[in-house]
Amino acid sequence: MPKLLVLFTSFLLYVSGISQENIMLTYTGNMGVFISGGKSSVLIDGLHTKYGDDYLFPSKKLVDKITTDLKPNAILFTHYHGDHFSEQLTKEYLESNTKAFLFAASQVTKNFSEFGERVITIKTDNYSKQTSTLEEITITSLKINHAGERHISVENVGYIVRLNDKNILHVGDTNWLEEINLFDQLKLQEETIDIAILPYWMLLDDNALELIKKYINPKQVIATHISPRVKDKNLSELKERYPNIHFLNTLEQQIQL
């Protein structure tokens, strides 16, 4: 084989290898994200219905696409609130995709006993990390307190999804909660986080960048849970304040990571 052809073939294989390592993140409303890389994928907080005018939810067309086309290997829920989770849609998904797994705290999984070992219940009595492996995906789950005193009883779960050698953190509906030293206890800065998916209100703190660096230290940040009623002017100001952060506010908006 001519030397030039060998070099060109090697280059194509190299480029192919790089493309296979890419991760595509697709927005499905509120804090819902579909994370895919190669043959493996997960959906976090992606199956829910209309909860109110302050919330963006997946259309029936998008739900059908998730069920019949995207087919995530695992569906993960941070907590049971209706802007993150629908019991009906989740059961329909598990019935249609018989090899898929469900990850959530007991406030969600208590009604899914018919799916047996495909249901993984995350303990929330302490902040210990719980790790499961599904083929090419490693999912580390842990308690991360829900924001707001009125939600103190809500079992909110955070996830670190490892896919294509990247660690993607999703924290659910939390906040910095420095009054209980939450992030000191989580020790997320030890997890080599590549991408952190945070509710946008965590960026409203005057010291948000310092807190992100101190407690998480990710390479990239993605902001979600942006209300459709947030004024364009306010969102534009937030984007100007954080030019290196991705903001998700449109269904099926995609980011290649």
Report whether pLDDT(138) > 60: yes
**pLDDT at residue 135 in the model:** 85
Arithmetic mean of pLDDT over the chain = 92
Output the pLDDT for position 30. Answer: 96
Does the pLDDT value for residue 113 go beyond 80? yes
8 pLDDT band, cuts 50/70/90, is very low
Contact (Cβ atoms closer than 8 angstroms) between residue 152 and residue 117: no
**Residue 4 reports pLDDT greater than 60:** no
pLDDT of residue 141: 98
Q: Backbone phi, then psi, for 11, in 5-degree steps? A: -65, -40
* Whether residue 203 has pLDDT greater than 50: yes
pLDDT score of 220:
97
Q: What confidence category does residue 2 fall into, taking pLDDT thresholds of 50, 70 and 90?
A: low
pLDDT at position 10: 44
- pLDDT over 80 at 134, yes or no: yes
Q: Look at residue 52 in the predicted model and tell me its pLDDT.
A: 85
> Is it the case that residue 79 has pLDDT exceeding 80?
yes
Contact 196, 186 (CB under 8 A): no
The C-alpha angle with vertex 244 and arms to 31 and 185, in degrees rounded to 5, equals: 55
CATH class given for the domain over 23-248: alpha beta
* Strand bridging mode 32-37 / 24-29: antiparallel
Give the chain's radius of gyration (CA, Å). Answer: 19
pLDDT-based confidence at residue 211 (cuts at 50, 70, 90): very high
Pair 219, 197: CB distance under 8 Å: no
Is pLDDT above 60 for 73? Answer: yes
Of 10-19, 131-140, 201-210, where does mean pLDDT reach its minimum?
A: 10-19
- Average pLDDT, integer, range 135-148: 96
**Residues facing residue 122 across a β-bridge:** 105
Q: Domains of the chain: which residue ranges?
A: 23-248
The predicted-structure confidence for 25-56, as pLDDT tens digits, reads as follows: 999 999 999 999 988 999 999 999 998 888 99
